[in-house]
């Protein structure tokens, strides 16, 4: 949520977006877990926030149903940062 708020996203929207990763699992990953392969991305657009599993050569245009504007949060990097802080 800190990273989203840093981009000027209101706290209520940042919190609702983070909730999609932390509190809701989906096929292939549990709540708060990364997908085992590829990138776990949180996509923010005009639509409700969504967590997706993207391979490394995904087209950015394909990540948004509207294809107009979106924000992509790399959850893998956030988890790695938290894990490093907890083990140091």
pLDDT digits (tens, 9 = 90+) for 31-40: 999 999 998 9
Q: What's residue 67's pLDDT?
A: 57
Instruction: Determine if the pTM surpasses 0.85.
Output: no
Q: Kindly write down the DSSP assignment for every residue of 23-86, as one continuous string.
A: T--BTTB-TT---SSSEEEEEESSSPPEEEEE-TT--GGGGSSS-S--EEEEHHHHHHHHHHHH
The values of phi and psi at residue 28, to 5°, are 100, -10
pLDDT digits (tens, 9 = 90+) for 40-66: 989 888 788 889 898 877 666 666 665
Show me where the domains of the chain are located: 2-27+38-87
């Amino acid at each position: 949520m800190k990273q989203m708020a840093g981009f000027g996203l209101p706290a209520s929207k940042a919190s609702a977006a983070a909730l999609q990763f932390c509190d809701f699992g989906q096929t292939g990953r549990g709540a708060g877990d990364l997908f085992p392969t590829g990138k776990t991305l949180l996509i923010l657009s005009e639509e409700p926030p969504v967590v997706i599993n993207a391979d490394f050569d995904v087209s950015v245009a394909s990540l948004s149903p509207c294809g107009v504007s979106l924000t992509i949060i790399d959850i893998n990097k956030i988890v790695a940062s938290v894990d490093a802080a907890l083990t140091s």
